[in-house]
Amino acid sequence: MNFVPVNQPLLDGREKQYLMECVDSGWISSEGPFVKQFETEFAARVQRKHGIAVSNGSVALDAAIAALGIQPGDEVILPTFTIISCAAAIVRAGAKPVLVDADPNTWNMNVEQVAAKITPRTKAIMIVHIYGLPVEVDPILKLAHQYGLWVIEDAAEMHGQTYKGEPCGSFGDISTFSFYPNKHITTGEGGMIVTNDDRLAERCQSLRNLCFQSQKRFVHEELGWNFRMTNLQAALGLAQLERLDEFVQRKRQMGQYYRDRLSDISDLQLPLPSTEYAENIYWVYGLVLSDSVPFDAADVMKQLSACGIGTRPFFWGMHEQPVLLRMGLFYGESYPVAERLARQGFYIPSGMALTEEQMEQVVFALKELFA
Ligand SMILES: *Cc1c(COP(=O)(O)O)cnc(C)c1O
């Protein structure tokens, strides 16, 4: 039986055609015309004024934090259950990450815990939409307004998703995306910052391009980075963006397929198909083992691997990261929901190119394991 990889992208649209245009024209750097076009079309898709393409979703967060002027002494509230990129961007700016736990059903940040974490030093709330369902945005926006805080929205896993009908990526003062190959649309590596704010957009454009100045190019008032996206990446991005609606539909069908066949395994918690404000787009199809099971996610993943099924563990909370604990952060803090998700959660193959035969194979292996 063939191995079922946890992710495989689908590149059978106009990807080749646009890439060939890059090669034929010689435009392969970030100066090529597809970059601007991708920025414009992507920003329009999420109803933002500006799109700033960058080299990945992690540096999009670095640039966002820097553009907002977040600095030592500042605090930023974020979920503990997320990818390291979120905390890393805050820590690298010299600021302090302040955590909230996850919701046991949506796996998103527990918005009810945010207010209690606001101090006079809080500058921003970083919301991170997790695994396919959006964060409950309204209470966050209300708090941000009330306390004068920035909202940074990490929408890396949310291409094509909406919250109460409005696109994810349209809620932050700055919002960010990733185009890693396991996201709904991919550029191989890549990311995008979107905003409506002219000044923040200009800051991000400058920061991604070494803070070159237009008049005195090699004289720098500030240190930036080279976070530029290439024309080759943007070519892929444009071809993928053309199919975003189709891709979202595909993911929803996968979610439905798995749900129909796995819901009778009582030891598995499946992703919620919807909340009152959104329908799941299943960035990944996550499973959480019930506490009564005598093994943990690591054991199951090992077993599935032996049956030819690729998996990945869930995020490991920021408050349990050795690198952050060694910096003196989160001493003695505990977030039980995130701790449980990290140990009991994993996700099964759910990439865009997954076939029904492969899903059948995954379901078969899981049924055997839990029989
Ligand atoms: C994938 C992801 C990122 C990082 O994106 P890269 O392009 O891999 O650097 C950041 N945040 C979230 C929530 C992600 O899922």
For residue 209, report the phi and psi dihedrals to the nearest 5 degrees: -120, 45
Confidence band, pLDDT 50/70/90 cuts, at residue 4: very high
pLDDT at 282 over 70: yes
Ligand 1 mutation pick, 7, 85, 161, 315, max ligand atoms within 8 A of CB: 85
Å from CA of 89 to ligand 1 middle:
12
Architecture in CATH for domain 15-241? 3-Layer(aba) Sandwich (3.40)
Residue located via tokens 């590596």? 189
Residues having CB closer than 6 A to ligand 1 are 56-58, 82-83, 85, 128, 154, 156-157, 178, 180, 191
Å from CA of 179 to ligand 1 middle:
8
Secondary structure percentages of the chain, helix, strand, coil, to 5: 40, 20, 45
pLDDT digits (tens, 9 = 90+) for 244-266: 999 999 999 999 999 999 999 99
pLDDT at 59 over 90: yes
Name the residue with the closest Cα to ligand 1, atom 5. Answer: 57
Å from CA of 178 to ligand 1 middle:
5
**Atom number, ligand 1, closest to the C-alpha of residue 85:** 10
pLDDT of residue 265: 97
Å from CA of 121 to ligand 1 middle:
27
Residue located via tokens 């199951």? 300
Instruction: Using alpha carbons, list the distances in angstroms from residue 189 to 137, 143, 210, 353.
Output: 28, 34, 19, 18
Å from CA of 86 to ligand 1 middle:
9
Amino acid at 142: K
pLDDT at 336 over 80: yes
Identify the sign of the CA torsion 278, 155, 43, 18: negative
Å from CA of 367 to ligand 1 middle:
31
Q: Would you kindly state where each structural domain of the chain is located, as residue ranges?
A: 15-241, 244-370
Å from CA of 215 to ligand 1 middle:
35
**Which residues are CB-neighbours of 15 under 8 A, at least 6 positions away?**
235, 236, 239, 240
pLDDT of residue 346: 98
pLDDT of residue 22: 98
Name the residue with the closest Cα to ligand 1, atom 13. Answer: 156
Angle between helices 244-262 and 231-241 (to 10 degrees): 60
Ligand 1 mutation pick, 180, 184, 186, max ligand atoms within 8 A of CB: 180
Q: What is the dihedral of CA 185, 186, 190, 191, to 10 degrees?
A: 10
Q: What percent of the chain is predicted at pLDDT more than 70?
A: 100
Å from CA of 191 to ligand 1 middle:
8
Ligand 1 mutation pick, 61, 83, 135, 158, max ligand atoms within 8 A of CB: 83
Name the residue with the closest Cα to ligand 1, atom 14. Answer: 156
pLDDT at 1 over 80: no
The H or E element containing residue 40 is helix 33-45
pLDDT digits (tens, 9 = 90+) for 302-332: 999 999 999 999 999 999 999 999 999 999 9
Residues pairing with 167 in the sheet: 162
**Closest by alpha carbon to 152, among 74, 221, 225, 222?**
74
Neighbours of 26 (CB within 10 A): 9
Distance CA 310, CA 216 (A): 52
pLDDT digits (tens, 9 = 90+) for 95-147: 999 999 999 999 999 999 999 999 999 999 999 999 999 999 999 999 999 99
**Which residues are CB-neighbours of 186 under 8 A, at least 6 positions away?**
9, 179, 180, 236, 237, 240
Rounded mean pLDDT of 196-216?
97
- In the predicted model, what is the mean pLDDT of the chain? 97
pLDDT digits (tens, 9 = 90+) for 61-78: 999 999 999 999 999 999
Rounded mean pLDDT of 27-56?
98
For residue 323, report the phi and psi dihedrals to the nearest 5 degrees: -65, -35
- Using DSSP, state whether 266 is helix, strand or coil: coil
Rounded mean pLDDT of 33-50?
98
pLDDT digits (tens, 9 = 90+) for 160-183: 999 999 999 999 999 999 999 999
pLDDT of residue 233: 98
Distance CA 225, CA 35 (A): 18
Give the right CATH number for 244-370 from 1.50.10.100, 3.40.50.12780, 3.90.1010.20, 3.90.1150.10: 3.90.1150.10
Distance CA 21, CA 16 (A): 9
